[in-house]
Structure 1
Amino acid sequence: MDINNVVAENIDNPHDLERMYRKDPQAFKKSFAHAWEQHPNSEVLRVWYARLHFKETPEKSPLLQKGFLFMGMLAILAGVCTRIIFHFVEQEAIAPINLAFGVIPFIAAYFVYKKTPKKSVIYTLVALFLISGVYLNTLPLNYSDSIVLAYLHFPIFLWVVVGLAFTGNDYSLGSSRLAYIKFNLEYGILYASMAVSGMVLALLTLQLFSFVGLDIENFYFSNVVLFGAAALAIVAAYLVSMNLKLAKNITPYLAKIFSPLVLVTLVVYLITVIWVGKNPFLDRDFLLAFNGILLGVLVVTIFSITESDSDRKKNISDYINVALIGLALIIDSVALSAIVFRLSSYGITPNRLAVLGVNILIWANLIWIMFSYIRFLQNKSGPSTIQDAVTKYLPVYGLWAAFVIFTFPIIFN
C-alpha cells in the first residue's frame, strides 16, 4: 500500500499523520496533495492544508520599519554621546561612571517608544535620569569610600529605572518584571556574542594596519571601538525585543546546565575552605570573596527560576535550586555574622555598612524564595509563587541602591 493511501486512510488518526509528517516532511507534502484531491471536504485535511500552505502577511522591509529607523538613530546618538562623555573622563573632569549615561538613557528611550507608557511614567523616568545625573556630578572626585560606594550602586539604580521603562504601564505586574529579567539574560548573551565578534574585527583591523607601518590602536579604541560598543548596546536591545530566537533558545539550556555545576563547585569549595581553615571573621579579603560567591549564587538561582515555565510540575531542577538556596543562606548567615563582628570590633565604616545592608537584603530575599519553594514542593502552591518571590523583591534592591547613592556621601563626608 503506498503512502498516498496511508494519508487518506489515517484522516481520523492525527497522531499517525503527525508522525509521518515529522519523519519525512517533503514526502508527506507530496503525498498529501493526492489525498487532498480525493477528500477535499475533510476537516482534518483542510487544517493540514492550511498548515502546509500557510504564508504570513508580507511586511515592510526591516530597514523601512519605524522601529528600526528609531533604533538606528538612538544607536548613533548613544555612540556620539559616549564618545563626548569619554573625552571629559579622559580630562578627569567627571567620574568614569558617567559613561553609563551614554547608553542607558537611550535604551530606556527605545522601550518608551516601543511601549508608549502614560505620561506619568515618562515624567518619572526623565526626572530620575536628570536628578541622578546632576547629583552624580555634584559629588567630589576624591574617591573616598562613600563616593566609590555611590558609584558602584549607581548601575543597580539605573537598572531598576530601565526596568520601569521596559514594563511601562505594567510596572506593578509580576509577569512584566519577569519578562524584564528574561530580557536581561537574553540581552547579556546576545551582546556578549556580538562583542566577541567585534573584538575579533578590531584585532584584525589593527593587525592589517600594522602591516603598513601604522599604529592606530589609541585612535581606534578611543573612537571606533567605544562608539561601536555603545551603539551595539542599543542594537542588542532592539534585537532581543524583536524576539530573536538565538538568545531565547539557549537561555533555558544554560539554566539547566549551570545550576548543577554551580552547586557541585560550591559544595567542593566550602569543604575546601573548612579544610584549609579560612576564617571570614578575621580575613577581610576572604569575607569579600564570600559575598561575591553569595551574589553569584543568587544570580544563578534567579536565572534558573525565571527560565522555568509557570505551569510546569516539579522536577530535579527544583531540588537543585533548593540546595543552592540552602547553601546561599548558610554563606549569607556566616557573612552576616562576620560583618556584625567586624562592626562591633572595628567600628562603623561606609564599606561595612553597605556590605551589611546588601547581605540583609539578600538574606531576606533568599528566605522568601526558600519558603515559596518549600510550599511548591509540598504541593501547597504553584511555581508562580516562586517567581513572585523574585519579581516582587526587585524594587527593594533599587531602593537600597538609591539610599546608598544619595545618603552615604552626605552621612560619611
Structure 2
Amino acid sequence: MGMNNLIIENMDNPQKLERMYRKDPKAFEKSFSLAWEQHPDSQVLSIWYERLYFTEAANTGKYPLLQKGFLIMSILALLAGVCTRIIFHYVEQEVIAPINLVFGIIPFIAAYFVYKNTPKKRIIYSLAALYLSAVFYLNLLPLNDDDSIVLAYLHLPIFLWVLTGLGYTGNDYSKSSSRLAYIKFNLEYCILYASMAVSGMVLAVLTMQLFNFVGLDIEDFYFSNVVLFGAAALAVVAAYLVSMNLKLAKNITPYIAKIFSPLVLVTLLVYLITVLWVGENPFLDRNFLIVFNGILLGVLAVTIFSITESESDDKKRISDYINFALIVLSLIINIVALSAIVFRLSSYGITPNRVAVTGVNILIFANLIWIMFSYMGFLRNKTGPSTIQDAVTKYLPVYGLWAAFVLFTFPIIFN
C-alpha cells in the first residue's frame, strides 16, 4: 500500500500521521501532495499542508539570492571583510591597538539587526553614537600596557555585545522574551560560526598545501588577506543564517545545554574537593585567584545558557535541579573569590585590576542570588519558570553598564 493511501486512511489519526512523518519525512512529503489533491477539504491535511509548504509558499516568485535581506547581508559581510583588513593594516603598523579589529565586525552585525528589526530612530541614533564614542575614545588612549588600558580593552567586547543586543531586540529591548531570544541567538551563533570556521580552516590548509607543492609559500599573504577577510565576512553571514531560523543550530543547542550542565557540575565538584585536598589558597596565590574567577565566569555562562534552553512549562526536570546545584556551587566560588580579592585590596592596596575584579564579583554575586531565589520559588511551586528567566535577562544591562564604566573611566581615574 502506497504512503499516500496510508495518509488518507489516517486522516483522523494525527498521532499516526506524525509517526509516519518522523519515520521518513521526505517520503511523507512526496506522498502527501497526492493525498492533498484527493482530499483538499480535510482540515487535518490542510494543517499539514501549511506545515510542509508554508516557507515555500512565502518565498514564491523570488530567488533566494535576489531577496533584499540576502543582498543587505552580502553587502554588510563584504564591508566587514574590507574594514577588518584595513584595520589590520594599521594594527600591523602599530598605529592602533589590536582590539580595534572588533569594530570591523560587531557594528556590521548590529547594522544587520537594525535593518531586520527596523527600530525607532532614537534607538538607531543611540547605537550609532555609542559605537562612534567607543571608537574615538578607545583610540585616544595611549598605546601601552598599563593595567587600566588593558582593562578597557577587555571590557570593550562586553560593552559592544550589550549594544548589539539593543540592535537585536529593537523596539522590544525592555521585554524579557526579546532578551532571552538574544541569549539563545548567541549560543546558536557560536555553534554555527564554529562549524563554518572549522570548514574554512580545512580549506585554508588544503589551499596552502597545494601551493606548497608548486614551490610557493603563500601563508602570510593568505592569512593576512583571505583568512582575515573571510573570518570577518563569515561573522555577518552566520548572524544572517541564525536569524533565518536555521534548524542545525536550533536543534543542537538544547542538547548541548543538557549535556554540559551535568558535566560541568561533576567537574566543578571534583575540582573543589581537589583544591581543598591539596590546600591551595586563593587569598595568597594570585594566579590561583585568577583561575578561580575564570571558573566562576565559565560556570555562570553555562548556567545562564542552561536556563535559557530550559522548557517554558511548570514541570520540574532533572536539569532544573542540576542548574540549581550549579548556581549554589557558583555562589560558593563567588564568595571565596570575593573574600580573597577584598583581602588583597586591604592588604596590598588599590590597583585597577583589583577594583575591576571586585566590581565583577559583586555584580555576579547579586545576579546569582537573584537567580537562586527565583529557582527556589520555582522548585517549591511558588513561581513559574519565567521568574528565573527574568532574573537572567533583566540583569544583562547591568553588565553592560559596568563594562562601560571600566572602559570610559578607568584609564582616566588610574592615570
**TM-score scaled by structure 1?**
0.93
- In structure 2, the partner of 1:349 is 351
> Relative to 1, partners in 2 of residues 1:360 and 1:48: Cα closer, same or farther, differing over 3 Å?
same
- In structure 1, the partner of 2:160 is 158
> Relative to 1, partners in 2 of residues 1:126 and 1:277: Cα closer, same or farther, differing over 3 Å?
same
Q: CA deviation at 1:4?
A: 10
Matches within 5 A, 1:111-260: 111-260=113-262
> Relative to 1, partners in 2 of residues 1:24 and 1:290: Cα closer, same or farther, differing over 3 Å?
closer
Q: CA deviation at 1:48?
A: 2.5
How many residues get paired? 409
Alignment root-mean-square deviation, CA: 2.5
Listed as ranges, the gaps of 5+ residues in structure 2 are none
The residue identity in structure 1 corresponding to 2:150 is V
Do structure 1's residue 51 and structure 2's residue 48 form an aligned pair?
Answer: yes
Counterpart CA distance in 1 for 2:3 and 2:247 is 35
Q: CA deviation at 1:142?
A: 1.5
Counterpart CA distance in 1 for 2:282 and 2:112 is 44
Deviations 1:129-159 (A, max 9, x none): 1111100000011220000000000000000
- In structure 2, the partner of 1:379 is 381
Counterpart CA distance in 2 for 1:160 and 1:31 is 46
Matches within 5 A, 1:273-352: 273-352=275-354
Matches within 5 A, 1:29-40: none
> Relative to 1, partners in 2 of residues 1:133 and 1:324: Cα closer, same or farther, differing over 3 Å?
same
Secondary structure in 1 matching 2:140:
coil
- Bigger Rg, structure 1 or 2: 1
Counterpart CA distance in 1 for 2:30 and 2:212 is 57
> Relative to 1, partners in 2 of residues 1:36 and 1:254: Cα closer, same or farther, differing over 3 Å?
same
The residue identity in structure 1 corresponding to 2:250 is K
Q: Given that residues 208 and 218 in structure 2 are in contact (C-alpha distance below 8 angstroms), is that contact kept between their aligned partners in structure 1?
A: yes
Among residues 77, 80, 92, which one is paired with 2:79 in the alignment? 77
> Relative to 1, partners in 2 of residues 1:118 and 1:345: Cα closer, same or farther, differing over 3 Å?
same
> Relative to 1, partners in 2 of residues 1:360 and 1:85: Cα closer, same or farther, differing over 3 Å?
same
The residue identity in structure 1 corresponding to 2:73 is M
Q: CA deviation at 1:316?
A: 0.3
Counterpart CA distance in 2 for 1:293 and 1:238 is 32
- In structure 1, the partner of 2:401 is 399
Q: CA deviation at 1:407?
A: 0.8
Counterpart CA distance in 1 for 2:322 and 2:370 is 17
Listed as ranges, the gaps of 5+ residues in structure 1 are none
Counterpart CA distance in 1 for 2:389 and 2:108 is 29
Counterpart CA distance in 2 for 1:387 and 1:8 is 43
Percent of residue pairs bearing the same amino acid type: 77
Q: CA deviation at 1:311?
A: 2.2
Counterpart CA distance in 1 for 2:368 and 2:113 is 30
Deviations 1:228-267 (A, max 9, x none): 1100101101111111111000000000000000000000
Which moved further from structure 2: 348-357 or 8-17?
A: 8-17
Counterpart CA distance in 2 for 1:358 and 1:179 is 24
Q: Given that residues 5 and 35 in structure 1 are in contact (C-alpha distance below 8 angstroms), is that contact kept between their aligned partners in structure 2?
A: no
**TM-score scaled by structure 2?**
0.92
The residue identity in structure 1 corresponding to 2:208 is L
Matches within 5 A, 1:12-27: 13-15=13-15
Counterpart CA distance in 1 for 2:292 and 2:73 is 41
Q: CA deviation at 1:59?
A: 4.6
Q: Given that residues 20 and 28 in structure 1 are in contact (C-alpha distance below 8 angstroms), is that contact kept between their aligned partners in structure 2?
A: no
Q: Given that residues 7 and 35 in structure 2 are in contact (C-alpha distance below 8 angstroms), is that contact kept between their aligned partners in structure 1?
A: no
Q: Given that residues 178 and 306 in structure 1 are in contact (C-alpha distance below 8 angstroms), is that contact kept between their aligned partners in structure 2?
A: yes
Secondary structure in 2 matching 1:281:
coil
Q: CA deviation at 1:84?
A: 0.6
> Relative to 1, partners in 2 of residues 1:59 and 1:345: Cα closer, same or farther, differing over 3 Å?
farther
Q: CA deviation at 1:75?
A: 0.7
- In structure 2, the partner of 1:98 is 100
The residue identity in structure 2 corresponding to 1:208 is L
The residue identity in structure 1 corresponding to 2:246 is L
Counterpart CA distance in 2 for 1:121 and 1:147 is 29
The residue identity in structure 2 corresponding to 1:66 is K
The residue identity in structure 1 corresponding to 2:131 is F
Q: Given that residues 36 and 45 in structure 2 are in contact (C-alpha distance below 8 angstroms), is that contact kept between their aligned partners in structure 1?
A: no
The residue identity in structure 2 corresponding to 1:352 is R
Counterpart CA distance in 1 for 2:2 and 2:68 is 52
> Relative to 1, partners in 2 of residues 1:344 and 1:313: Cα closer, same or farther, differing over 3 Å?
same
The residue identity in structure 2 corresponding to 1:134 is F
Counterpart CA distance in 2 for 1:154 and 1:3 is 57
Among residues 350, 359, 362, which one is paired with 1:360 in the alignment? 362
